[in-house]
């Protein structure tokens, strides 16, 4: 349980970090690359799932809420997509 | 029943009845005869339920039927001339290997009677409150009423929990376990979401931010969801009322799996702007009891830099 406790503590700090990097939660996500290029990234299933929800008009918060995912996992995936340059956030 | 056995029972101060496999009385001890004003001769051959008055007959009938069906002891209550008795009906094996029943009655302590009477009194205001809140809820349909609607819905949920505790209290006072609460299971993600929403509303303008960290649904855990909600609210509220409230509070739940068992870890995690906290919270006994009743494990981890987290590990309900 002590290990799980540390896991939760680190998880909460990472969540805060991801949310800060994503910046404005009301900003709209847009896919930056062509569909055929996405295949090259060999994305994990949860990233592919979130990517499929990005339509250029739905905000980060709405996508995370609609996905039904754990907010930590959702924020981690969106942060990863932004870092990899696959998506961009527009205010 | 042997003469020696009858002789032993005749010395008991508590009323005892012995029934045959058909549910008819074969023996009542002297204590039963004097308290219930009946002789062995009058009682013998009569249905066990017939030895009691009014509504108690149904309780006896039900208990005896359960003893015969499941072969396990059943607890119930009866009253005779204003005196309450806690009764236990147990199976006994007769000489021909058929199962009979023995009922032992123990005079109620006055305090329990008083508690039961108070419990009955509590039901009326609960029903009235429930009715009034339902009426109020109907008046909060428009946009302007949405804030009040949330309060009314919270109150109705609180009443539902109150009813559950009341039901459990009644079951405890009656000496019977509460089967409804024991065998139900629920999604902990729902509970965690409600606790986060309630905490946000309670905080109001305070500087602590509250974050929910749970997926929309999680594997079901066994037990009473009202119990988990109360425990989490107590923990969250306790943290916010400390001398140094946290800058951020995370209320979360996630599924975990080890080599031996699957579970759900529910957590209340705190951050402070100027580092962590060194104080180990002493959880009130009611929190520990409730976690134990959910078959859970409670643990708090503190790190001077990272913060503090309290975990409740609950076993997943396996069909």
- Domain boundary pick from B65, B83, B108: B108
Which bin fits A65, alpha (ψ -120 to 50), beta or left (φ > 0)? Answer: alpha
Using DSSP, state whether B138 is helix, strand or coil. helix
B266-290 pLDDT tens trace: 999 998 887 666 677 677 777 888 8
How close B222 gets to chain A, by Cα (Å)?
20
Integer Cα distance of A40 and A42 in angstroms = 6
Q: How many CB atoms lie within 10 A of CB B109?
A: 11
Mean of pLDDT over chain B:
82
- CA–CA separation, B185 vs B224, rounded Å? 7
The fraction of chain A above a pLDDT of 70, given in percent, is 97
What distance in Å separates the CA atoms of residue B66 and residue B62, rounded to the nearest whole number? Answer: 6
| B53 to chain A, closest Cα gap in Å | 55
User: Which pairs count as long-range contacts for B71-77, CB under 8 Å and 24+ apart, including other chains?
Assistant: B71/B99, B75/B174, B75/B175, B75/B176, B76/B174, B76/B175, B76/B176, B77/B108, B77/B174, B77/B175
* Cross-chain Cβ contact B217/A12 below 8 Å: no
What span, in angstroms and rounded, lies between the C-alpha atoms of B51 and B44?
A: 10
- Res B4: pLDDT: 63
Mutate to test the interface with A, among B189, B247, B301 (most CBs of A within 10 A): B301
Residues in A touching B254 (Cβ below 8 Å)? 70
- Domain identity same for B73 and B150: no
Q: How far is CA B30 from the centre of its chain?
A: 37
Range of the domain at A73: 2-90
Question: Distance (Å) from the C-alpha of residue A61 to the closest C-alpha of chain B?
Answer: 13
Q: Chain A residues with CB inside 8 Å of B267's CB?
A: 8
The alpha carbons of chain A give a radius of gyration, in whole angstroms, of 14
Dmax (CA) of chain B: 83
Question: How far apart are the C-alpha atoms of B267 and B274, rounded to whole Å?
Answer: 22
Residue B77's φ and ψ, nearest 5 degrees, are: -130, 145
Are residues B219 and B97 part of one domain? Answer: no
Collect all residues with Cβ–Cβ distance below 8 Å to A29 and sequence separation of at least 6: A54, A56, A58, A59, A60, A63, A78, A81, A87, A88, A89, A90
**What is the nearest CA distance from A19 to chain B, expressed in angstroms?**
11
Instruction: Give the residue from B108, B140, B168 where a domain finishes.
Output: B108
Interface predicted TM-score (ipTM) over 0.95: no
Using the Cβ of B296 and the Cβ atoms of chain A, whether some distance falls under 8 Å is answered with no
Instruction: Tell me how far apart the terminal alpha carbons of chain B are, to the nearest angstrom.
Output: 43
Question: Is the model's pLDDT at B208 over the cut of 60?
Answer: yes
> Total structural domains in chain B?
3
Q: B145-181 pLDDT, tens per residue?
A: 777 888 888 888 888 888 877 877 777 776 665 555 5
pTM over 0.80: no
Task: Specify the number of domains making up chain A.
Answer: 1
Beta-bridge mates of residue B209: B248
Task: Read off the pLDDT band of B89 (50, 70, 90).
Answer: very high
DSSP bridge pairs for B27: B18
Half-sphere exposure in the Cβ direction for B166 (13 Å, CA) = 17
Domain boundary among B83, B108, B133: B108
For A19, name the nearest residue in chain B, comparing CA atoms only. B211
Most confident residue range from A45-54, B89-98, B176-185: A45-54
| Summary count for chain B: helices (H), strands (E) | 10, 12
Partners of A22 on chain B (C-beta within 8 Å) are none
Q: How many C-beta atoms surround the C-beta of residue B19 within 10 A? A: 26
Put simply, whether B255 touches A (Cβ < 8 Å) is no
pLDDT band (50, 70, 90) for residue B9? confident
Taking any CB pair shorter than 8 Å as contact, residues of chain A touching chain B are 1-2, 4-6, 8-13, 15-16, 68-73
- Residue B163 lies in domain: 111-181
Return the biggest CA–CA distance within chain A: 45
Q: Which two tokens stand for residue B87?
A: 């009764």
User: Average pLDDT of B104-127?
Assistant: 79
Q: Which residues of B touch A77 (CB under 8 A)?
A: none
Same domain, B149 and B244: no
β-pair partners for B76: B87
In residues, how long is chain A? Answer: 91
Write down the pLDDT at residue A11.
92
Q: Say how far apart CA B44 and CA B231 lie, in whole Å.
A: 52
Q: How far is A77 from chain B (nearest CA, A)?
A: 14
* Subunit contact A8:B217, Cβ cutoff 8 A: no
- Return the SS3 of B271: strand
pLDDT in tens, B127-148: 888 888 888 877 776 666 777 8
Task: Examine the domain organization and report whether B160 and B194 are in the same domain.
Answer: no
**H-type helices in B241-312, by residue range?**
285-293
Please give the interface size between A and B, counted as residue pairs whose CB atoms are below 8 Å apart: 73
Contact B309 A5 (CB under 8 A): yes
CA dihedral of B253, B259, B262, B268, whole degrees rounded to 10: -20
- Work out the angle at residue B157's Cα, subtended by the Cα atoms of residues B156 and B158, and round it to the nearest 5 degrees: 90
Going from the C-alpha of B25 to that of each of A28, B4, B97, B101, B140, the distances in angstroms are 79, 18, 18, 9, 60
Q: Is the pLDDT of residue B116 over 90?
A: no
Query: Which residues of chain B lie closer than 8 angstroms to A69, CB-CB?
Result: 215-216
Q: What is the pLDDT of residue A25?
A: 63
From the list B89, B94, B47, the residue with the least C-alpha distance to B70 is B89
Q: Is the domain of B80 the same as that of B158?
A: no
């Amino acid at each position: 349980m002590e290990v799980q406790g540390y896991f939760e503590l680190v998880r909460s700090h990472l969540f805060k970090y991801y949310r800060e990097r994503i910046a404005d939660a009301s900003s709209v996500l847009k896919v930056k690359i062509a569909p055929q290029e996405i295949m090259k990234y060999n994305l994990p299933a949860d990233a592919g799932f979130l990517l499929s929800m990005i339509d250029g008009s739905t905000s980060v918060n709405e996508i995370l809420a609609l996905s039904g995912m754990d907010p930590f996992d959702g924020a981690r995936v969106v942060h990863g997509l932004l870092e990899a340059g696959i998506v961009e956030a527009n205010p | 029943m042997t003469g020696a056995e009858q002789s032993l029972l005749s010395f008991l101060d508590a009323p005892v009845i012995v029934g045959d496999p058909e549910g008819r009385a074969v023996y009542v001890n002297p204590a039963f005869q004097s308290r219930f004003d009946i002789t062995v001769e009058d009682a013998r051959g009569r249905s066990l339920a017939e030895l009691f008055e009014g509504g108690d007959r149904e309780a006896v009938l039900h208990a005896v039927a359960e003893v015969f069906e499941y072969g396990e002891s059943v607890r119930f209550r009866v009253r005779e001339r204003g005196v309450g008795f806690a009764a236990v009906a147990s199976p006994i094996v007769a000489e021909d290997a058929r199962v009979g029943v023995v009922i032992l009655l123990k005079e109620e302590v006055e305090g329990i009677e008083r508690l039961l009477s108070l419990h009955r009194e509590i039901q009326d205001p609960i029903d009235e409150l429930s009715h009034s809140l339902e009426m109020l809820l109907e008046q909060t349909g428009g946009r302007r009423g949405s804030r009040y609607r949330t309060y009314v819905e919270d109150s109705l949920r609180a009443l539902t929990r109150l009813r559950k505790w009341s039901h459990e209290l009644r079951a405890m006072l009656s000496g019977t376990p509460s089967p409804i609460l024991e065998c139900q299971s629920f999604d902990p993600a729902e509970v965690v979401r409600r606790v986060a929403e309630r905490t946000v509303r309670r905080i109001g303008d305070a500087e602590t931010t509250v974050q929910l960290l749970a997926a929309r649904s999680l594997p079901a855990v066994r037990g009473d969801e009202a119990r988990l909600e109360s425990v989490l609210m107590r923990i969250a509220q306790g943290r916010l009322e400390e001398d140094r409230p946290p800058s951020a509070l995370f209320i979360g739940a996630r599924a975990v799996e080890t080599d031996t068992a699957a579970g759900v870890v529910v957590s209340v995690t705190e951050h402070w702007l100027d580092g962590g906290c060194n104080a180990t919270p002493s959880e009130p006994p009611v929190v520990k009891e409730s976690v134990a009743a959910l078959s859970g494990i409670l643990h708090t981890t503190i790190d001077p830099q990272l913060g503090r987290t309290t975990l409740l590990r609950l076993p997943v309900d396996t069909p």
